Structure 1
């Protein structure tokens, strides 16, 4: 039943298509009000994660929201900082965590992160609860981080601590195989090339760290996600192929397992998302997954007003997380 039929999002007049709604917030937005306190934590497998906390000093709260960034992003991206600012204004502490290799320093192990890696999110959730400061935890995520969040909530719902009570995610590629092909279309090559440039750079850094484990031959000849994932992402994380990785990691197959109120907002003009990433049937059968599909918004966009103002994704997340009756 939870299909949100009418979305209130309307873009400003100067963001008149999905590409502008995607690019302008990424390039022009700044959120200087957010100040992080970084903490490095050691993982059980001998690696580390860098956590960026935003805990306003003028009050204490028993509520934390954990924010998961997108592919090749980090806690410093404007969309993450904007969400953190909105959460702080709503009275919550916020924890924006950086995936392995995404905090400015290469991680130690051959493995890095991938779009279905829920173990690290579970580690972060339990680490935060281990501080004993929080009785209530919310989750938010963007794009890749939204996929990880949905998969975490749905694949083993009994694993999710009871303190985790709601989630709100945006611009999520719930079908990784189709979205990996969709972003390879000619009109999306600008985005694809930017991602591949960053991923290639990291593979070279990884090869310097672990020269006997990383083969760079042909790296520059990998021209799309399926090729890169088949060569590197899949084998580095225990998958036989990109096909197996996409099948295992796509959050769409786990939506029926979600047992807490969860908002998924995917814009219909998102240049990254094909039709299979709008799981209307799954949401209509779920009592917990609320699917909102505004006509506009782009990918991790949803800008409103001036570039440094609060965005729709931010006040919509706060609204959903704090509502007496979700929807």
Structure 2
């Protein structure tokens, strides 16, 4: 008889979207706006503010309604959110609910500027921010005696993979296993995809509508940090990254940032059990850019279902619930 994990894993790896939700865009937008990845009361968080080594801060949300038997002895699930995400994101709520049901601890560190308050330093966050990820994980590791498992979603998934690639064998002392969900592991492919056609009109505009005001607030904090007129004229993520993200984080420009920040070229360096889950109809992550089995090491497993969209995976009758994504992903992690 199949275990619950085997059934969940099979459904995630071979996910078929409901007939009423055709195409990658619908499978992305509907779950984000209308999906609910759990039944019952929404998770409640308690926030901690951490001072960073460079004199800035990050905010970390911890699950407040946990049924953890003993917090120091309960496993800890750490979730790294996507571009402009937070603990309010639909996927964050779903994973936090899973942790509540399992009696686990749960932590969601907000990348700088994503917790609702502008950070202090003349920097923000980016897809290859592995040093920040490493600092966060090392600090969280000291809080638990049991295993620490990590999940990164979209941008957070790429950054988490980059951390594991850079640390190689030493990653196992911090994280037992990890997963990247809908991660744009080829940043150039994803960046160009989001700048074309429907994507440009919907997703590109949505991200810039959030990111530009934050960048302008950062300029008010640090006058002369970048060219204001160039930022205002940026019509896509390539142009935004060229004037803001790349130079503020030590890259020569967008091309340098996207090349050095991408996880795909280094997946064979990972030395801890890692799941990389990407739907092949993800509007942000072209199927042609996804890695093949021969491009990853023995520690990396690839799930690439034909359907699911970007952090979508809706299922069931209309209006549909999201697929039990936490159950499938966490089942894989626990088994490894």
Question: Which residue of 2 is the match for residue 292 of structure 1?
Answer: 303
In the aligned structure 1, how far is the partner of 2:306 from the partner of 2:185? 18
Q: Is 1:204–1:216's contact at 8 Å kept on the other side of the alignment?
A: yes
Gaps of 5+ in 2: 1-8
Q: Is 1:139–1:167's contact at 8 Å kept on the other side of the alignment?
A: yes
Q: Is 2:68–2:74's contact at 8 Å kept on the other side of the alignment?
A: no
Q: Is 2:270–2:300's contact at 8 Å kept on the other side of the alignment?
A: yes
- Shift of the 322–58 alpha-carbon distance from structure 1 to 2, 3 Å rule, reads closer
DSSP-derived class of the 1:264 partner = strand
Question: Which residue of 1 is the match for residue 3 of structure 2?
Answer: none
Question: Which residue of 1 is the match for residue 20 of structure 2?
Answer: 14
1:44 aligns with 2:50: no
Query: Which of 162, 175, 197 is equivalent to 1:164?
Result: 175
1:53 aligns with 2:62: yes
Q: Is 1:141–1:170's contact at 8 Å kept on the other side of the alignment?
A: yes
Question: Which residue of 1 is the match for residue 157 of structure 2?
Answer: 146
1:248 aligns with 2:260: yes
**1:310 Cα shift?**
5.6
Q: Is 1:206–1:214's contact at 8 Å kept on the other side of the alignment?
A: no
Q: Deviations over 1:194-243 (max 9, x none)?
A: 11111111111112222232431132211112211111111100111111
Question: Which residue of 2 is the match for residue 33 of structure 1?
Answer: 42
- Shift of the 282–238 alpha-carbon distance from structure 1 to 2, 3 Å rule, reads farther
Q: Is 1:175–1:276's contact at 8 Å kept on the other side of the alignment?
A: no
In the aligned structure 2, how far is the partner of 1:217 from the partner of 1:187? 26
Q: Is 1:269–1:297's contact at 8 Å kept on the other side of the alignment?
A: yes
Q: How many residues align?
A: 319
TM-score by length of 2: 0.89
Moved more, 167-176 or 211-220: 211-220
1:65 aligns with 2:77: yes
In the aligned structure 1, how far is the partner of 2:110 from the partner of 2:68? 26
- Shift of the 163–232 alpha-carbon distance from structure 1 to 2, 3 Å rule, reads closer
In the aligned structure 2, how far is the partner of 1:70 from the partner of 1:211? 28
In the aligned structure 1, how far is the partner of 2:284 from the partner of 2:56? 31
Question: Which residue of 2 is the match for residue 228 of structure 1?
Answer: 240
Question: Which residue of 1 is the match for residue 126 of structure 2?
Answer: 114
Q: Deviations over 1:226-268 (max 9, x none)?
A: 2111111111001111111111100112201111111111001
TM-score by length of 1: 0.91
Question: Which residue of 1 is the match for residue 225 of structure 2?
Answer: 213
CA root-mean-square deviation: 2.0
- Shift of the 134–303 alpha-carbon distance from structure 1 to 2, 3 Å rule, reads farther
DSSP-derived class of the 1:231 partner = helix
Question: Which residue of 1 is the match for residue 29 of structure 2?
Answer: 23
Q: Deviations over 1:279-299 (max 9, x none)?
A: 01445x521110011011000
**1:304 Cα shift?**
2.5
Q: Deviations over 1:96-142 (max 9, x none)?
A: 111000000010011110000011111111111222x3331111011
Structure 1 runs (4+) greater than 6 angstroms displaced: none
In the aligned structure 2, how far is the partner of 1:249 from the partner of 1:72? 17
Moved more, 50-59 or 65-74: 50-59
DSSP-derived class of the 2:229 partner = coil
Q: Is 1:64–1:134's contact at 8 Å kept on the other side of the alignment?
A: no
Query: Which of 72, 93, 102 is equivalent to 1:90?
Result: 102
**1:5 Cα shift?**
9.6
1:77 aligns with 2:89: yes
In the aligned structure 2, how far is the partner of 1:207 from the partner of 1:317? 39
Q: Is 1:49–1:100's contact at 8 Å kept on the other side of the alignment?
A: yes
- Shift of the 5–261 alpha-carbon distance from structure 1 to 2, 3 Å rule, reads same
